[in-house]
Copies of this chain bind each other. A is one copy, B any other.
Amino acid sequence: MQILSEMRRTHNCGELRRANAGQKVILKGWVAGWRNHGGIYFVDLRDRYGITQVVFDERLGENFDLISQVRNEYVLVVQGEVSDRGENINKKIPTGEIEVYALAFEILTRSEATPFPIEDEVNANEVTRLQYRYLDLRRKPLQDIMVLRHKVNQIARNYLSDNGFLEIETPYLNKSTPEGARDYLVPSRVQPGNFYALPQSPQIFKQILMVAGFDRYFQIVRCFRDEDLRQDRQPEFTQIDIELSFPDEEMIYEIVEGLLVKVWKETKGMNIPHPFPRITWTESMARFGVDNPDMRYGLELCTLNEIMAGCAFKAFASVVEAGGLVKAFSVPDPDKTLSRSFIEKELDPFVKVYGAKGLAWARTGAEGWQSSIAKFFDADTQKRINELAGANAEDSVIFFVASENPRIVNGALGNLRKKIAAKMGLVKDNDYKFVWVTEFPLFEYSEEAKRWASAHHPFTQPRPEHMDMLQSDPGKVLARAYDIVLNGNEIGGGSIRIHSSEMQQKVFRALGIGDEEAREKFGFLLDALQFGAPPHGGLAFGMDRLIMLLACTQSIRDVIAFPKTTSASCLMSNAPSRVDNAQLKELGLKLEKI
């Protein structure tokens, strides 16, 4: 006789239906719950595919007294007969039309009591959940995300492969070229005193692959940044990396839109209209204050400099006089959700985080503005401002920020706009609005380093007509760079790259990277550009962010099987940890006394 535990399951726990009634089946899975009704045990058997109710009569079967020992998360193999539940359908589960009457069973593995129940919603704190990640991952919401992530992976690979892209693996043990974020270093044992660096992205390698003639490359690849972590960052993250030769921006937009449309269609059954809208960086900053605009709602910003020039409200007039900026936006608020105290206690401090001195505001009404600044503006001017800010005359709130530094105005109002939209319920799940933001500036001025730095990276091509401003007016140089933005989140970005070594050298110089430093850091790229580099460009998606948006989750740790905390620890394995001194000695390293 064959031993039950060695027999294969005939079905998984999610697939039996009324049509299977009368069949003898073998199921394997975890006990998700059990009830004893006077010697009849009802056990919910769970696997990744679903839950099936199994009925054990302890008077039957040789070892059926054992059933009273079974507890949650025990792993069982059950042989039984499928029975039609008739009218008595359990509508909560897809297998609810049937139950299985156990004829034989074995306990495959026992389980301790789990520190939290394996249920869709749990109250356990995140530290416990991360420590017992294997239990947290048994919960259906996380399982569903991992399945979703797998699907997106597969869809992306097949789509890109079908479009002539080759997946080529680039190395993880690389040369350290610190630029932007910190590298994770890997000491070399064979060459003590030397170090590899883990890639922040495969940028240079994918460009080298274009020089090598591969024409179309992609890779779904891990990247690493040793940054001080915020809630939404992880030290290692996954990128869908795409590069092609002989491209133009339109070609890249088409390819990327095709991919995203397919992902949304196949994972959510949604038809995303395309081509996606596009706006230039300059327009995005003007209308939305940010370079990652959320297009699901209006609340667009307007500029009030003309009206405020020489106005009676000196705070605004003086900003205009000093060459600053006064902007505003409005939101209808018939229900008076935005109370004075909410604005003063929540929103005023919020804009100050972005450097604004304060938030001015006005409520419209039949009698004109209710506002501490109402007195500075006559009825006509209030009306003109209402119109410019798109406020209705009855029940809108207008928010104003003024500063001599335009970045402060845009940062404060752009982010306030997002906060207000959330507060007012303008943001809905399963509403997806994509937009291309194009023509980014090539450089950003780093106040810290007191020099110009690459906005994207130093391999981005300036717009050809701006080449002559590289030295004279670097802040005005626009780049052939673009971001794909979804619901206010940058999910990908890229550029047409520099393919001439002369242009690359000019950009390095504009960045204050001398020829010697350029050669030391990027010599192999400069060399490669000498030997017939094709025009090329591409884009990289942040996979983790993409999955977060698809899964409608707020935590990046929900979309990564084994995430790290903000102190870059794995609470399950306790990485990082001490190592033997012998290991360090082999690497030629000593710990500094701390």
Contact = CB atoms under 8 A, between A and B. Distances in A.
B592 A174 contact: no
Nearest to A527: B132
A137 B580 CA distance: 41
B161 A150 contact: yes
A64 B34 CA distance: 85
A229 to B, nearest CB: 8
Interface stretch (A211-219, A326-334, A411-419): A211-219
A12 B132 CA distance: 53
B108 A534 contact: yes
A534 B109 contact: yes
Given A8-B246, A168-B561, A535 B175 contact: no
Contacts of A183: 583
Interface string A185-196: 111111111111
B169 A576 contact: no
B568 A190 contact: yes
Interface in A490-547: 499-500, 523-524, 527-528, 530-535
Contacts of A226: 189
Contacts of A108: 534-535
Contacts of A184: 173, 186
A111 interface: yes
A87 to B, nearest CB: 32
Q: Which of A166, A178, A182, A568 counts the most B-chain CB atoms under 10 A from its CB? A: A166
Contacts of A524: 572-574
A251 interface: yes
Nearest to A191: B576
Nearest to A525: B573
A575 interface: yes
- Chain copies in the assembled complex: 2
Contacts of A246: 8-9, 28
Interface residues on A, range: 35 or more
A134 interface: yes
Interface in A29-51: 30, 46-49
B30 A576 contact: no
A30 B499 CA distance: 14
A578 interface: yes
A208 interface: yes
Contacts of A499: 109
A150 B171 contact: no
A569 interface: yes
B567 A190 contact: yes
A461 to B, nearest CB: 13
Contact of A211 (B134, B235, B576, B580): B134
Contacts of A214: 48, 137, 143, 146
A188 B154 contact: no
A341 interface: no
A194 B585 CA distance: 15
A570 interface: yes
Contacts of A192: 591-592, 594
A166 B150 contact: yes
A62 interface: no
Contacts of A463: none
